[in-house]
Amino acid sequence: MLMENNPERVSELDRHLVEFAQLLRSVGLKISPSEISDAAQGLTILGMADKNKVEAVLQATLVKDARYIPSFQEAFRAYFASKEQKEVWQKETAEKASQWQGQLEQARQDLRFQGNELEITEEQRAVYASLPENDKQRIKDFLDKSAQGTKSGIPVDHTYQPMVERVLRGSLEYWRKRLNEDDPILSPGSTDALLSEVERALREREADVLSRDLKKISPEEWPEVTRLIRRLSQRLATQVTRRYRADHRRGGVEMRATLRKNLRYGGVLVERSYRSRRRARLKIVLLCDISGSMLKYTEFIWQFIYGLSEVVKGIKTFAFGEALIPLSGQLKKEQTFEEMVKETLKISGKEWGGGTNFANALLTLQQAFPAALAKQTLLIIVSDGQTLEGEKAAALLEQIRRHVHEVLWLNTLPKRRWQETPFVQAFLPSCQMYECYTLSHLTQILKQQF
Amino acid sequence: MNRMTLDQFEDALEEIGYITERDDRIALTAFLATELGKPLLISGPAGVGKTEIAKVLSQVFGAPLIRLQCYEGLDETKALYEWNYQRQLLKIQMSQDKLKEEDLFSSDYLLPRPLLQALVNPEKSVLLVDEIDKTDSEFEAFLFELLGEFQVTIPEMGTIRAQEPPIVVLTSNGERDLSDGLKRRCIFLNVEPPSVNKEVRILRKKVADLPERLALEVARAVHILRGRLSLNKVPSVSETMDWAKALLVMGKNDLDPAWVEATLTLLLKSQDDVDLFYREMGAERLLFEASKLGQEERHAHGKQS
């Protein structure tokens, strides 16, 4: 069997299973050696003559979450494809990789100042390589002109290079956002042909609204997404009311009640009475960022606020940009929630867009609405964390965290961008931050958290 | 218990009236779990027949079914064992001088709950841990020893090993993520709502005298409802059966819009879902889509043959 074998005598089956498990791990599945062993045993029991049975055995033993079934199916299709097919993929991947290397090398040659290579990151070079030719030319022209420029009649020298690099970095950062904000622009897929094929197939499957970025969902799909968000909010609401703080189980014997209960037995402690677990209904306070950087997620935020307010009673909602705007106004007769919010925004002179000052918003929340920040409060923040006065905001958030039950931060910025966003790191210790830009993220968060 | 082959297992399922299809992989995965002696973790939406699988395994192997229904706050005193405190107290009162501590912590004073019952049962049993996702993660961790080694440790008594390891079935509606440790110890089966063909077979097996045409129309309509509308609660197989029974009682041989509307609440159990149905689809459109599905099936069937 797999685990008992001498390493030199690893069978062909074991080798394939380990390789296949590696492929699955690279698309996100967690697979332990004991599960590979189960798969080997399963195949021994059911045989390998029937491909469908082999797939079923491997799926049952290696995939433990329904979310990963599509990844498994694609990996199985790719790994057990014919030799000829694998050779074709291998060739395509090698071609793509060499083409990409060529482009990167060209970028290295192009991005020079007076013959010296510029100090920029590999990703920034990749951004340049992905640009259309005329935009590349514009950058090259800028570099050429800068190299030949003069200051007070004296030609510039290499000491001007850091300045040029700064300008170039800014420009490439702009292009990165325009080209694709979320996916890293590095090599076009993996250099491993099988993995590259699985990734390609999975990208195609991503047409599913659940895994698509919420800002890329088309207007026709919104009614469907709205329903999904409402359903998720409903789940959140029922969980919030059902969930109670997991104190020590059974809380220990309550002596006073126990003695009272046992008086009828002459004081012999026949029956015991326990302290019951504390049931605490959480109060939700929702804080939504409506600044310019969040404009793309307007629809998501509307639906989330609306969905949640519809099903959770007594939820307090605030929007914030440069200042805090309470949205939990009273609904007038025959007024929809959306109309109420729009009216509130109009009265407060605020609209979507504009700058963000989270510190300001938190300070107002603390001073003007102290009752909202109680021990039973679950503070949910929906924001991308891009704000002015971030350090002050982080300090305020830390203070608030100490007064409330929990702070949940749904960040519409992908996790890998958190590092480079100023202040997101500062907010992290004071809250549970989750990336949340697809419905599948929201579903996952609710599953983990509630 | 005699060992079976997969074919024999499938035949046994057929014999007791449990309908499976090759594509749903229920039979193969359940068989694999029993052969490997591993717990079977079944996930899927409510009402697709997850619990039924445990009942069926109990019938196939002629083993008693021991059920633990999970809920939030479930702890070991409800799931595993509890000391019979009152009895211990009586014993203390009765024999105060001659009593040794170990006398009080013996199996006579132990109240076995489902998990322990399954372990100490001298014959093989089927242990169903239903809706494991409703418990908290501490309880899940507590199950590791049982699921991995088929043993439990009672501090006052030591380790109790299963005389005959039970067949363990855990079900989950996916309300929360289960821990990696639990999932690693299990064989996993994801059950989806049945295909039209399978549901027709189930209906015809379970609802006596149901005409094939009505069974087909009912199954197709439910299939459309499940797939096209994002309902809060999709109709379960048992609700489909109730609907078919109701239509049969009314003497219907096929579906018509008026009767769909009259009996809709047998399938859709919340006002939101009913509103959604009328807003987005309506009875006539449902029947039109269902008949279109029938045509597509016939077309595909014609191509195959």
> Tens of pLDDT along A123-151?
788 888 888 888 888 888 888 888 887 77
DSSP code at position B116: H
In three-state form (DSSP H/G/I as H, E/B as E, the rest C), the secondary structure along chain A is: CCCCCCHHHCCHHHHHHHHHHHHHHHCCCCCCHHHHHHHHHHHHHHCCCCHHHHHHHHHHHHCCCHHHHHHHHHHHHHHCCCHHHHHHHHHHHHHHHHHHHHHHHHHHHHCEECCEECCCCHHHHHHHHCCCHHHHHHHHHHHHHHHHCEECCEECCHHHHHHHHHHHHHHHHHHHHHHCCCCCCCCCCCCCHHHHHHHHHHHHHCCCHHHCCHHHCCHHHHHHHHHHHHHHHHHHHHHHHHCCCCCCCCCCECHHHHHHHCHHHCCCCCCCCECCCCCCCCEEEEEEECCHHHHHHHHHHHHHHHHHHHHCCCCEEEEECCCEEECCCCCCCCCCHHHHHHHHHHHCCCCCCCCCCHHHHHHHHHHHCHHHCCCCEEEEEEECCCCCCHHHHHHHHHHHHHHCCEEEEEECCCHHHCCCCCCHHHHHHHCEEEECCCHHHHHHHHHHHC
Q: What part of A 295-314 touches B (C-beta under 8 Å)?
A: none
Task: Kindly state whether A67 is in contact with chain B, defined as any CB-CB distance less than 8 angstroms.
Answer: no
CB B237 within 8 A of CB B49: yes
pLDDT at B203: 92
**Residue A176 binned pLDDT confidence (cut-offs 50, 70, 90):** confident
Final residue belonging to a domain, choices B190, B208, B233: B190
Contact A60 B86 (CB under 8 A): no
Closest Cα partner for A373 from A324, A416, A415? A324
If asked whether residues B34 and B182 sit together in one domain, one would say: yes
pLDDT at B215: 93
Residue in chain B closest to A278 (alpha carbons) equals B73
Q: Name the residue facing B190 among A61, A69, A250 (closest C-beta).
A: A69
Residue in chain A closest to B72 (alpha carbons) equals A243
If asked whether residues B173 and B69 sit together in one domain, one would say: yes
pLDDT in tens, B127-170: 999 999 888 888 888 888 888 889 988 888 889 899 899 999 99
Q: What is the mean pLDDT of residues A150-176?
A: 82
Contact A66 B36 (CB under 8 A): no
- Interface A-B, measured as beta-carbon pairs within 8 A, has a size of 84
Q: Kind and range of the H or E element at B132? A: none
pLDDT at A277: 58
Q: Is the pLDDT of residue A225 over 70?
A: yes
Q: Is the pLDDT of residue A27 over 80?
A: yes
Q: Is the pLDDT of residue A330 over 80?
A: no
pLDDT at A350: 58
Q: Report the length, in residues, of chain B.
A: 305
Contact B232 A234 (CB under 8 A): yes
Q: What part of A 20-49 touches B (C-beta under 8 Å)?
A: 30, 32, 34-35, 38, 41-42, 45-46
- The verdict on residue B140 lying in a domain is yes
Q: What part of A 255-294 touches B (C-beta under 8 Å)?
A: 268-272, 277
Q: Is the pLDDT of residue A99 over 50?
A: yes
Highest mean pLDDT (candidates A53-67, A95-109, A220-234): A53-67
**Residue A248 binned pLDDT confidence (cut-offs 50, 70, 90):** very low
Q: Name the residue facing B32 among A30, A45, A63 (closest C-beta).
A: A45
Highest mean pLDDT (candidates A186-200, A227-241, A341-355): A186-200
Closest Cα partner for A80 from A46, A41, A60, A53? A53
If asked whether residues B252 and B183 sit together in one domain, one would say: no
Q: Which of A250-264, A391-405, B52-66, B184-198 has the lowest mean pLDDT?
A: A250-264
SS3 B159: strand
If asked whether residues B128 and B223 sit together in one domain, one would say: no
Q: Which residue, among A38, A245, A274, would best test binding to B if mutated, counting the most B CBs under 10 Å from its CB?
A: A38
**Domain CATH code at residue B142:** 3.40.50.300
Phi and psi at A394, nearest 5°, equal: -65, -40
Instruction: Give the alpha-carbon dihedral of A139, A142, A147, A153, to 10 degrees.
Output: -170
Q: What is the mean pLDDT of residues A16-34?
A: 92
If asked whether residues B152 and B219 sit together in one domain, one would say: no
If asked whether residues B114 and B263 sit together in one domain, one would say: no
* Mean pLDDT, chain A, whole residue set: 79
SS3 B251: coil
If asked whether residues B139 and B254 sit together in one domain, one would say: no
If asked whether residues B166 and B206 sit together in one domain, one would say: no
SS3 B105: coil
All domains of chain A, ordered by start, with CATH? 7-80 (1.10.150), 94-179 (no CATH), 223-244+280-449 (3.40.50.410), 248-278 (no CATH)
Final residue belonging to a domain, choices B175, B190, B205: B190
Q: How many domains does chain B have?
A: 2
Contact A64 B41 (CB under 8 A): yes
- The verdict on residue B270 lying in a domain is yes
Start-to-end Cα distance in chain A: 41
More confident residue, A116 or A308: A116
More confident residue, B66 or B19: B66
CB B220 within 8 A of CB B37: no
If asked whether residues B178 and B245 sit together in one domain, one would say: no
pLDDT at A299: 74
**Residue A337 binned pLDDT confidence (cut-offs 50, 70, 90):** low
What is the C-alpha to C-alpha distance for residues A209 and A215, in angstroms, rounded to an integer? 11
**Residue A349 binned pLDDT confidence (cut-offs 50, 70, 90):** low
Dihedral sign (CA B259, B260, B261, B262): positive
If asked whether residues B147 and B265 sit together in one domain, one would say: no
Final residue belonging to a domain, choices B190, B215, B243: B190
If asked whether residues B41 and B168 sit together in one domain, one would say: yes
- The verdict on residue B88 lying in a domain is no
Residue B206's domain spans which residues? Answer: 196-304
- The verdict on residue B103 lying in a domain is no
User: Is ipTM over 0.95?
Assistant: no
Contact A268 B189 (CB under 8 A): no
If asked whether residues B55 and B163 sit together in one domain, one would say: yes
- The verdict on residue B23 lying in a domain is yes
**Residue A3 binned pLDDT confidence (cut-offs 50, 70, 90):** very low
What is the C-alpha to C-alpha distance for residues A246 and B73, in angstroms, rounded to an integer? 8
Q: What part of A 234-253 touches B (C-beta under 8 Å)?
A: 234-235, 242-243, 246, 249-250
Contact A56 B29 (CB under 8 A): yes
pLDDT at B214: 92
Closest-CA distance of chain A to residue B139, Å: 11
Q: Which of A79-88, A273-282, B263-272, B288-297 has the lowest mean pLDDT?
A: A273-282
